[in-house]
Amino acid sequence: MRAFARSAFIASKKRAAAEKAGEHIPPFLIASITGRCNLHCAGCYSRANHACGDREPEQLLRAEEWDRIFSEAETLGISYILLAGGEPMLRSDVLEAAAYHPGILFPIFTNGTCLNDRHLRLLEEHRNLLPVISIEGGREATDARRGAGVYDKITEAMLRLRSGGMIFGASVTVTKENLREVYSEAFCDGLYKKGCRAIIFVEYVPADGESEYLAPGEAEQLWMQRQIRTLRRKNRRMVFIAFPGDEKSSDGCVAAGRGFFHINAHGGAEPCPFSPYSDCSVRDSSIREALRSPLFYALNAEGLLRDEHIGGCTLYANRERVEQLLKKPLQRSED
């Protein structure tokens, strides 16, 4: 991790130099390296957006294409690439390509059920790969959303990582039904004892059009803001991140290149996984060109990323306006 710390410092200098020259480079990139998943989680936004299924999407980016994207990201000064899916552990070829970019930290957002000996060896040898295991709370909440027996498989994966001395985190989809449990000190302490050192709380986005009742409202979000401050004060052994809750300190949504953007499994550059709209592909263009895409420029220029709304994802809340932007003639950011 010391080597990564040096690389992160160099990357921050690159971004600062680019900013001085009038070009903004975000520190984060989200890469959905596969559209295939072995689970059928209730209310999954990725399946609802047809980005995830039982088979790979057509024209899937090859491992060598992802390797080129990782190299370009490192050159630009991007420090963190979040590997997602689908289930990213199903793309061992891409994970192996990522491993050989030690200047980038790769959190791997995984359901934890596909972790095998090959993965464990790779994670042990390349500490820039950091598994982040999805969990919904205890056994009852996790199995209710992810399937019977998943909680036990997750626990087994965590214990295998801990026994190997590997650092890992957890990702929690927060709903009205589980928020009191997952934001509790007892739940967080339980994860710490399993070896977890970071928890990312992600507010549920009801992309399936049928589960709006699960999305935390304004009252719940105010409670979560207070609770995460308590967790951070009382448990300094762990890192706690709230998404999109922490965006309030960033003057709005940080998608569409402000703080990160998303590349889907076939190369489309999108503002965010929750906003699957694209007018540019990194398959036939560069990351730099994607960051200057007309859609990203319009989202920034028209104030959608700073739009006031009651909680949740601002781009999802304004999806009709985003769709309308794609139908209009758009200009690139340099025009």
Token pair 């928020």 in the structure block, residue: 179
Q: Is 60 exceeded by the pLDDT of residue 334?
A: no
| 91 φ, ψ (degrees, to nearest 5) | -115, 65
* Model confidence band, residue 331 (pLDDT cutoffs 50, 70, 90): low
**pLDDT at residue 307, rounded to an integer:** 65
- To the nearest 10 degrees (0 to 180), the angle between helices 117-125 and 92-99 is 10
Domains in the chain, start-ordered, CATH in brackets?
A: 135-243 (3.80.30.10)
* pTM beyond 0.85: yes
User: What's the whole-number average pLDDT of the chain?
Assistant: 91
Distances (CA, A) of 293 to 120, 262, 326: 38, 13, 11
Q: Is the confidence at residue 248, as pLDDT, over 90? A: no
Q: Mean pLDDT lowest for which of 57-61, 212-216, 330-334? A: 330-334
Distance CA 243, CA 221 (A): 11
d(CA 147, CA 39): 7
In this structure, the strands spanning 269-270 and 28-32 are unpaired
Tens digit of pLDDT for each residue in 155-192?
Answer: 999 999 999 999 999 999 999 999 999 999 999 999 99
Contact 24, 96 (CB under 8 A): no
**Dmax over Cα atoms in the chain, in whole Å?**
55
For a pLDDT cut of 70, what percent of the chain falls above it? Answer: 94
For the chain, the helix, strand and coil percentages under 3-state DSSP, each to the nearest 5: 45, 15, 40
Residue 267 has pLDDT above 70, yes or no: yes
Where do we find the tokens 């009038």? 22
The Cα–Cα gap between 6 and 1 comes to 9
Both tokens of residue 76?
């630009």
pLDDT at 310: 47
Closest residue by Cα to residue 304 from 331, 324, 290, 327: 324
Of 281, 286, 318, the residue nearest 299 (C-alpha)? 318
The token duo for 326 is 């794609």
Between 106 and 212, name the one with better pLDDT. Answer: 106
What is the Cβ-side half-sphere exposure of residue 36, based on CA atoms within 13 angstroms? 13
